[in-house]
Amino acid sequence: MKKKIVAAAMLTLALLAFTGCKKKEEPVVPATTEGTEQVMVPETQTEVEEVEDTHEGEVRSFYTGKWINEKKAYNRPVAVMTENTHVTLPQYGVSKADVIYECPVEGGITRMMAIYQNYKGLEKVGNVRSCRLYYVYLAKEFGAAYFHAGESKYALDILNSSYIDNVDGITGKGGAFYYRDNSRKAPHNLYTTGNKLASAMKEYGFDTKLSKDYEPHYQFATEEEPNLLKNGQKAAVVKMYYVDAKPWFVYNKKNGLYYRYEFGEKQVDGLTGKQLAVKNIIIQNCNSSLKNPKNGTLDIDVLSGGTGKYITNGRAIDITWKRKSENDITRYYDENGDEIVLNPGKTWVEICESSRASQNVIYSTKADFQK
């Protein structure tokens, strides 16, 4: 009897061992329902080593402080006069400009001058309008060839001299490098393209490269060590006094840019459909007078120096500006007398009449802003 019990026990253990081996050889697959997606989870996750960008073959742009191909660094820019009235909106190509100047002209309106270093691929630029004397001095600072459509009579002498390379869109052979958009009424319908700008440079025999001793207009910080203006006042909204466009900028903390508005709405580029935005705003206060009281032709002194504001990263500081001569570059200084350092990106320069500078308003919060 005991032998039968022992034999039975040994048989049971053998069966259990055999069953255990079968389970290891044939793992059970979990049941799935039709339509249920199975997600494969890797057994191990390896960390991707971050490769340092050495910017090989690149240099900092003279105009934006951004990294660009070193072969393009010395490409000579163009400066294009651009109308800024409600009837001409939207302007085209302006979001591609490295630097934008805005100055008052007659009747409370403003005009813009857009400075492009990389312009050859632009499909449409403008519309293009006439020159004022002070814009010539501003374009000269950047080593730019100046494109315009007509001019104030007070600018004729300097345009006809060797002071600056320029192409007039309504006289002589210059008209070949502009075109009319018949969907708009003249004189608000004159445009050019990047290819036409390049062709004009070639036709007129203008230098297409900056001289190797070109002196950069701005000093720039780096993305790793930005200029935070820690001691500056908060600047969430910047509202300009210009009575026609009534423009303002709103700071976006997420990307550190100031977005532009005018005529009660977003200012967009007709080429891209996107709102204009810049990293830096410089307010440059200048003495002004009337060249012709009858028609209100302004004369703005962009040579003698003055005060202003530098605005970036949500803050603003007081500055002064100086320019040694009409062939020199404007320099901007903080309260300690040190030249200001801009953050990499696009810059918008607001030329303001000193007598009206107090009408510009900087709001510390968006809630305080009043249109």
Q: Please report the pLDDT score of residue 49 as a whole number.
A: 63
Specify whether 198 is located in the same domain as 260. Answer: no
Q: The CATH number of the domain where 120 resides is what? A: 3.50.90.10
Q: What is the pLDDT of residue 50?
A: 62
Which two tokens mark 337? 């007398």
Contact indicator for 121, 96 with CB cutoff of 8 Å = no
- Distance between CA atoms of 251 and 229, rounded to whole angstroms? 15
Question: DSSP 3-state assignment of 239?
Answer: strand
Over the Cα atoms of the chain, what is R_g? 32
**Average pLDDT score over the chain:** 89
**What's the Cα-to-Cα distance from 42 to each of 29, 39, 45, rounded to whole Å?**
18, 10, 7
Same-domain pairing of 240 and 197: no
In a domain, 46, yes or no: no
In the chain, which residues have pLDDT < 70? 1-52
Q: Domain residues for 63?
A: 58-203
Q: Provide the 8-state DSSP code for 46.
A: P
CA angle 366, 314, 230 (to 5 degrees): 135
CB 38 within 8 A of CB 32: yes
How buried is residue 45: exposed, middle or buried, by Cβ count under 10 Å (0-12/13-18/19+)? exposed
pTM for this structure?
Answer: 0.86
Whether 177 and 241 share a structural domain: no
At 1 the pLDDT is: 46
Query: Are 243 and 300 found together in one domain?
Result: yes
**pLDDT reported for residue 154:** 94
Query: Residue 182: how many CA atoms within 13 Å on its side-chain side?
Result: 0
Residues 197 and 284 in one domain: no
By the 8 A CB rule, do 137 and 131 touch? no
Domain count, the chain: 2
Pair 168, 269 in one domain: no
Q: Given this model, what pLDDT does residue 297 score? A: 87
Q: How would you classify the pairing of strands 110-116 and 99-104?
A: antiparallel
Are 111 and 247 part of one and the same domain? no
Give me the pLDDT at residue 52, please. Answer: 67
| Residue whose entry in the numeric block shows the structure tokens 């009337």 | 290
Task: Say if residues 81 and 131 touch (Cβ distance below 8 Å).
Answer: yes
Same domain, 192 and 268: no
C-alpha to C-alpha distance for 81 and 125, rounded to whole angstroms: 10
